[in-house]
A and B are shown apart, each in its own frame.
Chain A
Amino acid sequence: MSSNNSHILSRRAFIRNSSLAGGGLVIGFNLFQACKPKVIAEPAIDLSTLDYNDFNAFIKIADNGAVTIFSPNPEIGQGVKTSMPMIIAEELDVAWKDVYVEQGILDTENYTRQVAGGSQSIRQGWDALRQTGAKARHMLVSAAASRWGVDPSECTVSDGVITNAAGETLGYGEVVNEAALLEVPEEVELKHPKDYKIMGKDATNVDIEKITSGKPLFGLDYKADGMVYAAVVRPPSFGHKLVSYDDSEAKGMPGVIDVVTIGEKVRSLLAEDPGFSSKISSSDKVVVIAETTWQAFKAKEAIKATWEEETPMESTEQHDEILTALLDGNDFNTMRSDGNVKKAFAEADQVLERTYESPFLPHNCMEPMNFFANVTEEKVHLAGPIQTPAWKAGLVAKMLGREEKDIHLEMTRMGGGFGRRLYGDFVIEASEISDKIKKPVKVVYTREDDMEDGIYRMAIKYRIKAGVKDGKLTAYHLKEAAVNDNMYGLIPNFFPAGAVENYQVDAASYDSNITTGAWRAPYTNFLAYAEQSFFDELAEMMEVDKIQLRLDLLQNVKGTTDERIQYSPERMEEVIKLAVEKSGWGTKPAGVHQGFVNYYCHNTHVAEVADVEIENGEPVVKKITCVVDCGIVVNPTGALNQIEGGVIDGVGHSMYGELQFKDGKPTSNNFDGYRLIRMKEAPVVETYFVENEHTPTGLGEPTLPPAGGAVANALKAATGNRLYKQPFIKSPELLKVPEKEIIG
């Protein structure tokens, strides 16, 4: 590139323009320079409200035509490392087989919302990702047209090759150097979905070769020169604080390099950023530094620590009583109120009130929490699995008194996230340890650490009351009692908000010392089951058809001008009708007991039907029919995988998931005492998409919440018993099948 072009470049939006080893250029676009990233003070509160317009992406084209697309967002198994680059590649007009995908690093200047959470990566990236690809295409075509001396409109592109009216061709690699010097267009025309060549076709996970052959990919696989391992002795219970410790035995063990304490820096951070205090213990912790993971784990067991009770030790029994008392009380925060529920209940012919209960849940990512940190005078190098890299880099900078530009954060593939890796308490820990020992270090949690020092899905109870007058639902009152935090954002405006004249949502919470946070489909992961169980029971009381009740309610929402109502009654109707058809609802032979649910969350409309059959005298979930309206399906194989996983995860946790607390401590800390769904319990999932051209939505979460409700409703059909408490397995007496069903 000649030097006289540099001034042109400087006033343009290029953010990368460097020579590649193999020739060619890296071209990047800061598409929304005017938009500054929002300060993410507490993403757990409402990820869906984060502004995604600040997004941008990188495309790298070598002069041999090879295309690398950097996937900006963290990959937790939701498939964005494949699907986000597909969207860019589509508009760039290259062949997918020629695209090489790399994980982008944290780059707050040039990417924004590098977050995995809320099923928002695809939805909020949709316009920016397409524009990124289309703008690059436009510039490449302009460069070719200018070389030929023709108008760009006379050129066509297919698979990265530009052709002019005379039939001459130029590959992207041949014009990339000229293209990179051109003005980035303001906004360019995008393809019509019918012209898509990449989207809508199955693209295998871009990491498939590495995953199936065991190549290093995950945080736990990350290694660096001189790296040591750290295992952390944590407070044995929530509420405990370190008093003293004896490390004499540990220090003499093989491979042990040092034993240190951390906590001081975390406390100074918490003083500045109290919002994080519900996510990390402020107690000192004892850290064993060793040459290998196992040596660190073993020496950690040899630390004799003394703890004192700083705040009271809590238990599940206590939470149970507190949440019930909250529901019985009057200390609520009203989150939505339409009409007058009190009056409507007084005038009702029939009233139904039910209470639903859920336990704490750990996330149980298969890859235990871990993170690498190397704090040096020059910079802070962080690497590992994190759903919110920018937030964590900011906190680490603040904690260490560094500039954010000194923080270099590499995102590894994550062995699951489910919300646990939103918080990054382990990033904070790793950074404080490295700062203290002045070495590159990786903190590794044992499975026991992972389950005992979680940031759990909190226990919640819902009480729902409905009033019926002249055969119509006239009042609906939902009360939530939760440990630590209540539902947020638009959740109080989900169905049946807008469908019932007198409608109210109230929430109350209790402050616990147990750390809690988002868990796959926060709140709705339990709320959907509660409400959809309730609708079935309501239909029974009203003696109306269960599905017709839902369809009738949706009629009331049509044409609403209430902007808080974001579900579409028309799209909901469509998924309901398709689910009825595809599941064979009402036409199944005796012995197949079905349960129905429709639900909207994470911008996606879903209906699910569970089929329960009796095997060896026990009800078994055999199949879930799942109908999804997620708009355009970017990558069908990835979408189906998310849907199946979400459904089975939903079935599994509603059936088996529970973490109990006693004396401030979980009563189980590994998979021998905690039941996760396994192969033999996993139902068949049959998925159908509603075909349309709406903006695509994310699928990491929305199919999970309805699954528990579909199972509960099918179990009611099979056993005659209504389940009010999760996990269902804890009510064996309600899972008994009537004698006639077993014989029949």
Chain B
Amino acid sequence: MPTYQIKVNGASQTVNVSEDTPLLWVLRDHLDLVGTKYGCGIGQCGACTVHVDGVAMRSCSLTPAQVDGKSITTIEGLSENGNHPVQEAWKEVDVPQCGYCQAGQIMTASAFLENNPNPTEEDVKNAMHGNICRCASYTRIRKAVMIAADNMD
């Protein structure tokens, strides 16, 4: 099997996986980073969102070759102590119900705010529209992203 060099949460990793193995499963099964979640496998739900060189991407739809040599951030590496402003806002608002989709929501929101520090509520709705929350905690997600935006200033 081919070997790939990827940088995950600041650490260089060598992985031997078949070329069609989605980054999602490299993270979950090979690197034991299970915070990134499997939801649909076809880039429709956003549960597997990670940052690739700072851009929010669906890890279920990325091959190892596409991320070879790139820098990947997962929920586990978003902040050292789980205290990124988006994570803090999630706690303040008490967003989760089941919690399964929330890592993907947080990764989408944090990448979005990096480039859009002063979003309107409409901007937030558009940015978060690709992430499904089956428990429908949408009103709280919206609120938490707005709070995080304020705190990132």
Name A's B-contacting residues (CB within 8 A). 76-79, 202, 204-205, 207-209, 211-218, 220-221, 223, 229, 254, 292-295, 298, 364-368, 413-418, 446-447, 637-638, 641-642, 644-649, 652, 670-672, 676-680, 682, 684-685
Which chain B positions have C-beta within 8 A of A202?
A: 94
A293 in contact with B137 (CB, 8 Å): no
A641 in contact with B37 (CB, 8 Å): no
A641 in contact with B100 (CB, 8 Å): no
Q: Please list 10 pairs of residues, one from A and one from B, whose beta carbons are closer than 8 Å in the complex, sorted by A's number.
A: A77-B96, A208-B94, A214-B36, A254-B1, A294-B29, A417-B98, A649-B134, A671-B40, A671-B45, A679-B125
A205 in contact with B134 (CB, 8 Å): no
Q: CB-nearest residue of chain B relative to A678?
A: B129
B1 in contact with A679 (CB, 8 Å): no
A214 in contact with B38 (CB, 8 Å): no
Cα distance A254–B1 when bound, in Å?
Answer: 9
CB-contact partner of A676 in B20, B33, B126, B134, under 8 A: B134
Q: CB-nearest residue of chain B relative to A683?
A: B139
Q: Does B117 contact A (CB under 8 A)?
A: no
Q: Which of A202, A217, A292 has the most CB of B within 10 A?
A: A292
Which chain A positions have C-beta within 8 A of B56?
A: none
Which 10 A-B pairs rank lowest in CB-CB distance, beginning with the nearest?
Answer: A214-B35, A77-B98, A415-B100, A214-B75, A648-B136, A213-B82, A682-B138, A671-B44, A211-B99, A77-B97
A447 in contact with B39 (CB, 8 Å): yes
Which chain B positions have C-beta within 8 A of A671?
A: 39-40, 42, 44-45, 132
Closest Cβ of chain A to B97, distance in Å, is 4
Cα distance A211–B75 when bound, in Å?
Answer: 10
Cα distance A207–B91 when bound, in Å?
Answer: 10
Q: CB-nearest residue of chain B relative to A213?
A: B82
Q: Does B146 contact A (CB under 8 A)?
A: no
B98 in contact with A416 (CB, 8 Å): yes
With contacts A368-B38, A679-B142 known, what are 11 further pairs, Cβ within 8 A? A77-B97, A209-B91, A211-B103, A212-B96, A218-B37, A254-B18, A416-B134, A418-B134, A447-B41, A670-B42, A672-B44
Cα distance A366–B20 when bound, in Å?
Answer: 24
Q: Does B128 contact A (CB under 8 A)?
A: yes
Which chain B positions have C-beta within 8 A of A678?
A: 129-132, 138
A364 in contact with B125 (CB, 8 Å): no
Q: Does B135 contact A (CB under 8 A)?
A: yes
Which chain A positions have C-beta within 8 A of B136?
A: 644-649, 652, 677, 682
Q: Does B140 contact A (CB under 8 A)?
A: yes
Which chain B positions have C-beta within 8 A of A644?
A: 136-137, 139-140
B1 in contact with A367 (CB, 8 Å): no
Which chain B positions have C-beta within 8 A of A414?
A: 98
Whether A415 contacts B45 in the complex (CB less than 8 A), given A208-B90, A652-B136, comes out as no
Grouping DSSP codes into helix (H, G, I), strand (E, B) and loop, the B interface class, with mixed when no group exceeds half, is loop
Cα distance A329–B37 when bound, in Å?
Answer: 49
A366 in contact with B100 (CB, 8 Å): yes
Q: Does B34 contact A (CB under 8 A)?
A: yes
A670 in contact with B44 (CB, 8 Å): yes
A416 in contact with B18 (CB, 8 Å): no
Cα distance A221–B28 when bound, in Å?
Answer: 8
Cα distance A414–B36 when bound, in Å?
Answer: 15
A212 in contact with B106 (CB, 8 Å): yes
Whether A294 contacts B22 in the complex (CB less than 8 A), given A649-B135, A652-B136, comes out as yes
A367 in contact with B100 (CB, 8 Å): yes
Closest Cβ of chain B to A421, distance in Å, is 11
Which chain B positions have C-beta within 8 A of A684?
A: 139
Which residues of B in the span 31-83 have a Cβ within 8 Å of any Cβ on A?
32-42, 44-45, 47, 74-76, 78, 82
Which chain A positions have C-beta within 8 A of B103?
A: 211-212, 214
B75 in contact with A213 (CB, 8 Å): yes
Whether A679 contacts B141 in the complex (CB less than 8 A), given A211-B96, A366-B37, comes out as yes
Closest Cβ of chain A to B124, distance in Å, is 8
Q: CB-nearest residue of chain B relative to A218?
A: B100
Q: CB-nearest residue of chain A relative to B26?
A: A294
Which chain A positions have C-beta within 8 A of B135?
A: 77, 366, 416, 645, 649
Q: CB-nearest residue of chain B relative to A674?
A: B44
Closest Cβ of chain A to B148, distance in Å, is 12
Q: Which of A202, A365, A641, A684 has the most CB of B within 10 A?
A: A641
Which chain B positions have C-beta within 8 A of A642?
A: 97
Cα distance A645–B132 when bound, in Å?
Answer: 13
Closest Cβ of chain B to A433, distance in Å, is 18
Closest Cβ of chain B to A216, distance in Å, is 5
Q: Does B5 contact A (CB under 8 A)?
A: no
Q: Which of A254, A638, A676, A678 has the most CB of B within 10 A?
A: A678
B21 in contact with A680 (CB, 8 Å): no
Whether A212 contacts B94 in the complex (CB less than 8 A), given A298-B20, A677-B136, comes out as no
Cα distance A641–B44 when bound, in Å?
Answer: 24
Cα distance A652–B37 when bound, in Å?
Answer: 23
A79 in contact with B129 (CB, 8 Å): no
Cα distance A367–B100 when bound, in Å?
Answer: 7
Which chain B positions have C-beta within 8 A of A211?
A: 96, 99, 102-103
Cα distance A616–B82 when bound, in Å?
Answer: 41
Which chain B positions have C-beta within 8 A of A229?
A: 29
Which residues of B in the span 111-153 have a Cβ within 8 Å of any Cβ on A?
125-126, 128-142
Closest Cβ of chain B to A525, distance in Å, is 14
Q: Which of B22, B100, B101 has the most CB of A within 10 A?
A: B100
Q: CB-nearest residue of chain A relative to B142?
A: A679
CB-contact partner of A680 in B1, B39, B129, under 8 A: B129
B82 in contact with A446 (CB, 8 Å): no
Closest Cβ of chain B to A708, distance in Å, is 14
Which chain B positions have C-beta within 8 A of A685?
A: 139
Which chain A positions have C-beta within 8 A of B36?
A: 214
Closest Cβ of chain A to B26, distance in Å, is 8
B1 in contact with A212 (CB, 8 Å): no
Q: CB-nearest residue of chain A relative to B102?
A: A211
Cα distance A417–B90 when bound, in Å?
Answer: 22
B139 in contact with A648 (CB, 8 Å): yes
Q: Which of B45, B102, B135 has the most CB of A within 10 A?
A: B135
Which chain A positions have C-beta within 8 A of B41?
A: 446-447, 670
Closest Cβ of chain B to A445, distance in Å, is 10
Q: Which of B1, B136, B141, B142 has the most CB of A within 10 A?
A: B136
A212 in contact with B34 (CB, 8 Å): no
Cα distance A366–B47 when bound, in Å?
Answer: 8
Which chain B positions have C-beta within 8 A of A77?
A: 96-100, 135
A204 in contact with B94 (CB, 8 Å): yes
B98 in contact with A413 (CB, 8 Å): yes
CB-contact partner of B128 in A205, A418, A679, under 8 A: A679
Closest Cβ of chain B to A621, distance in Å, is 13
A680 in contact with B125 (CB, 8 Å): yes
Cα distance A302–B28 when bound, in Å?
Answer: 23
Cα distance A532–B9 when bound, in Å?
Answer: 53
Whether A679 contacts B138 in the complex (CB less than 8 A), given A205-B96, A214-B76, comes out as yes
Closest Cβ of chain B to A364, distance in Å, is 6
Closest Cβ of chain A to B41, distance in Å, is 6
B21 in contact with A294 (CB, 8 Å): yes
B128 in contact with A212 (CB, 8 Å): no
Cα distance A327–B115 when bound, in Å?
Answer: 57
Q: CB-nearest residue of chain A relative to B35?
A: A214
A645 in contact with B99 (CB, 8 Å): no
Closest Cβ of chain A to B90, distance in Å, is 5
Cα distance A368–B45 when bound, in Å?
Answer: 12
Which chain B positions have C-beta within 8 A of A208?
A: 90-91, 94, 96
A214 in contact with B74 (CB, 8 Å): yes
Whether A220 contacts B99 in the complex (CB less than 8 A), given A77-B135, A446-B41, comes out as no
Which chain B positions have C-beta within 8 A of A209?
A: 82, 91
